[in-house]
Amino acid sequence: MSDEVPEAQSREDETFMRRCLEMAREASARGETGVGALLVRDSNVIAQAGEATREQTDPSAHAEVQAIRIACRHEQSTDLSGCTLYATVEPCVLCGYVIRRAGIPRVVYGVAAGQAGAVTSQYAILSDSNLDGWPPIPEITHGVLADECQDVLKRREAVVLSWSGGKDSSLALAELRADPRVRVVALLTSITRGYDRVSIHGVRRELAEAQAIAAGLPLIEVALDPQSSNEAYEAAFRNALARIRADYPSVRKIAFGDLFLADVREYREKLVSASDFGALFPLWGRDTRQLAEEFIAAGFSATVVCVDTTQLSADFAGRAFDAKFLEALPAGVDPCGERGEFHTFVSSGPMFANPIAVRRGELVLRDDRFMFCDLLADG
């Protein structure tokens, strides 16, 4: 199998695999297995198809076989030796036989097929050079857009998570990762220019970046000016959504860690829907005291980095978010700070590959209201 391909070829492979993914999604929407395939000659698509075994009541109507049938009619020949076959999933033994007999010299696929794969299983008909009288074995390129191909095959939804770096977004990430129907592909965070910090929370950019690395996810930034108007925020957010659309075409939803504020949820839904995205709220409606206790019991570590002193005493800033913190909260303060009473930074937890070492810096009061605890990378 070929693991290294020239950069230009790699870009072309991704372009054609995205076409395959369209076929796979259409097949999945029809109730078929989510597999798509196409044949390319001289950088032109000459045939494409999705799985159709149920629709055609034909167990041989696999995406690859369907595409090869169309290509043979197009070429008026069973010789497809000038073509490349793309498929979202490794061709099975049935498809491998047809591919070999058609003389297709190159096969590109996304994810392995398992026990019936014509490349990786014990029935590796696409890599068996001991078949006398058969056309040469094809060059194989695998793993192209593998995660997206797997998403469609498993009917798994790719999402981007709005990320503040605090407990609610961390709990949302853990919840989403535990859901087999969802795959988080990136984190989306707001950074205030000049301060170079996460907006509202006041956490340094380098710590947000360290969280993303520990979570194994890219970090997408919404760049904001200090004291940004709501219109400026929405424009910057729409710009970030446009980048997500370009860089992650399979993403259709943005997830948020909101808990119960209906007006906030409605605002977010309207904001993302204007760019043709949906909104997902994995923690919505959960009891906030229970969530806070679950957070602590699960082994998360967090520090309170911002306190709204009109709702909570300034001396809560800089404290660890733990059982003692919860017990000390006055009546009327939400245990998760959902009304903006306080914000946190999570330095370790089950969704991080490693803890982020931090130390507390100075306390700073801003706007005669918000007490910030500066956190610095430690080591």
3: pLDDT strictly greater than 60 = no
Q: Is 206 a catalytic residue?
A: no
Tell me the pLDDT of the chain averaged across its residues: 94
Kindly state the average pLDDT of the residues 56-85: 96
Give yes or no for a contact between 355 and 304, defined as CB atoms under 8 angstroms apart. no
Cα distance between residue 171 and residue 166, in whole Å: 9
Provide the CB-side half-sphere exposure for 33 (13 A, CA).
15
1: pLDDT strictly greater than 70 = no
Helix (H) or strand (E) holding 271: helix 262-273
Token pair recorded at residue 304 = 């309170």
| Band (64; pLDDT cuts 50, 70, 90) | very high
Q: When comparing pLDDT for 130 and 102, which is higher? A: 102
The CA-based angle 227-262-326, given to 5 degrees, is: 80
Report the length, in residues, of the chain. 379
Rounded to a whole number, what is the distance in angstroms from the first to the last CA of the chain? 43
The pLDDT tens digits for 240-258 are 999 999 999 889 999 999 9
Phi and psi at 271, nearest 5°, equal -65, -45
Give yes or no for a contact between 358 and 378, defined as CB atoms under 8 angstroms apart. yes
| Band (220; pLDDT cuts 50, 70, 90) | very high
pLDDT confidence of residue 129:
84
Kindly state the average pLDDT of the residues 307-321: 97
pLDDT confidence of residue 219:
97
Token pair recorded at residue 253 = 């939803």
pLDDT confidence of residue 7:
65
The pLDDT tens digits for 5-18 are 566 678 999 999 99
| Band (227; pLDDT cuts 50, 70, 90) | confident
3-state secondary structure of 370: strand
Nearest residue to 375 (alpha-carbon basis) of 217, 188, 222, 198: 198
pTM for the model stands at: 0.80
Share of the chain above pLDDT 90, in %: 91
Kindly state the average pLDDT of the residues 30-37: 95
The pLDDT tens digits for 117-141 are 999 999 899 988 888 888 899 999 9
pLDDT confidence of residue 38:
97
| Band (22; pLDDT cuts 50, 70, 90) | very high
Per annotation, catalytic residue among 64, 90, 148, 157: 64
Provide the CB-side half-sphere exposure for 24 (13 A, CA).
30
51: pLDDT strictly greater than 70 = yes
Token pair recorded at residue 96 = 């491998």
Cα distance between residue 343 and residue 87, in whole Å: 46
Token pair recorded at residue 50 = 């999705």
The torsion angle over the Cα atoms of residues 159, 163, 168 and 171, rounded to 10 degrees, is 50
